[in-house]
Structure 1
Amino acid sequence: MSQLVFELSGEHDTLPRSEVIACIEASGWNYQIKYSYDQVLVVETDADPGILARRLALTHNILELIFIAPSDPDMILKEAETGELGLKYGQSFVVRVSRVKNYGGISASFERKLGAAIWHRGYPVSLDNPDVIFRAIVTEGVCIFGRRLAEVDRPGFEERAPLKKPFFLPGVLMPRISRAVVNLTRIREGWMLDPFSGTGGTLVEAGLISPGIHVVGCDIQKKMVYGTRKNLRHYQTTYDVIWQDSLRMGIRDDSVDAMVTDFPYGQSTPIAAESAGAFYTGALREMFRVLKPGCRAVVVSKEPMEKLLTDAGFTVIETHRQRIHKSLTRNFAVITKS
């Protein structure tokens, strides 16, 4: 078991932490949360950091913890001068300091001083091609110092931005959020359904996690079905896309291993129901029917849906909120079919 430090993104207050735990649990690794700070999570685990980095979206780096010190510059330098750093003779290094928000009294010159403290111990510095990258993260009165083991390919998500996909419509989830909510289902392999697939953004992210995940999309609009197929074909995922009313899906009972969907908001999206209430009730009834018992789904909606979800038979495990602008707040509910 190692103590891994997850340097979380500041895109959301709660989703990054939940995503880390979900990805560890998805592979069945053991873990214990040791410390949780603003944008930093320290976990004792037997998880493989390389595998986690290829799956995570809302994390920047995964480090091996070396020490935690008060955020006083002198105390940090003392730890760097005397502590066990795990460097071998002749290994080169570089130090990068990151300050979360406005925590700590760390100046711009501190990175250089911290590097000098290690250099004085006889280890060479390499700014361009170091053998070891150390990161010092200052947050909530502490400095967390670690050796970088893996880096999340966040630019890769930017390359899959909605405007860069073959088929695009505005107002969809961004790829990093799509990947995070897929991860919250803890799917590792099997069938993942999006009953309101739209442009297929969540399906793309699910399919890129593993070739063992077969994604299935449904939509009542023919143009969405064609657009989703185009996007999934472009990213070479294993998929099926069905043109059908998601209130009456041609999918067997208890056959889906995970679900993620961003519910239509109704302004420009047709819904095949007499009212919004009937639409949500019918959709959730179908989602409950096709999901395997014990498996998880994530529902994204404009309004909180906990009451509707529990009335449909689901158990709500956790919820998150994301304010997009003054007229739109996204609500994320992680649910299971007990």
Structure 2
Amino acid sequence: MERSMPAPEIIPEGQTLWQTDRQPAGCSHCRRVFLVRSGELNAVCPLCLRGALEPQPAYARRADPERMLPFKVPRAELPSIYQRFISPVWIKPEELNPETLMKNTRPVFWPLWLVDADVNGHWQMEAGFDYQVESARETYVQGGWQSRKQIETRICWEPRIGQVNTRVNNVITPALEEHENRLKMTGAYPMEAGVDFNPDLLGSAFLELPDLAPEAAWPMARPNFGRPLAELCQTAAGAQHTREFNLKADFANQNWTEFFLPLYATHYHDDAGQPQMLIVNAVTGAIQGPRLASRQRGHKIAGIIGSIGGGLFLLTLIGLLLTAIFQHAALIAGLLGVLGLIAAILAIVIAVWPGQWNKDQTGPRLAE
């Protein structure tokens, strides 16, 4: 029987939470909810850039979060991260530069659930035990056969069953509906580097609240208990390996706490004026998001180079007409014709390249 599911509460508008100076505010567009300082009320949402963070009640736990990963990548390193990321873009939108990206950078903490529970039930698995087999390998060396002893480690698989009655702590579980996509944007975090939640480490960061309540997140949490319990049962069986682990158990006295992970969110506007979000893992420095080329600038540059090519072709024709008068006009005309051809080819490449580049920008994007 599963019981003791914690019930979040309604945190009234204007009330601070978790011993911080932050109160709940929700985005009018994407419906994400954050804890923000009073001076950030009605600011633009840092993750969708389309709505304002308006004061509102929030559905949250009053108990303090348990863990957090502090920011490890200082802001001073962001310009070089941005520059490396955008450097492959040959023809960039005007705003796709480190200066604009730095100006638009916002720090954000986003949540996971940590779930504790008493587990009481039965398990079965195949336990693997290492054993060694001695054999000989015959090799032909210098006109004769020689035998070499070999020791090979193999695994003996045996069925095991048992009972479990223990408490499992800190099982990591998604706290956002967009968890998988968010993790694609940030990449993996070194979870072992987490520290106890400390409001002093929040700095100026927006604190995003879970949008998956415990009862909604539990179906994802329950399978995650398998790994720590399999390791526990493996140790109890004295085995070196496990497979086909199955558990039938009740989960009682659940405790749900938050684990906050840091990111930097920034953006630039593309040719159509649409904001394009880039996300930086604030621990590892990994960055993801669409780095679009500018078709408008490409067409403009191509037009200029094409005009130069047209002028060179015109001079080529004039040179050919003057061949009868000036002996070296043909040579000059030929050179100008080659330069005109190069300019025409370059103009075509520049006009086409941004569109082809943008077609390849199919990586993860922050959910709107």
Q: Which band: TM-score by shorter chain?
A: under 0.3
TM-score where L is the length of structure 1: 0.19
Give the greater-gyration-radius structure (CA): 2
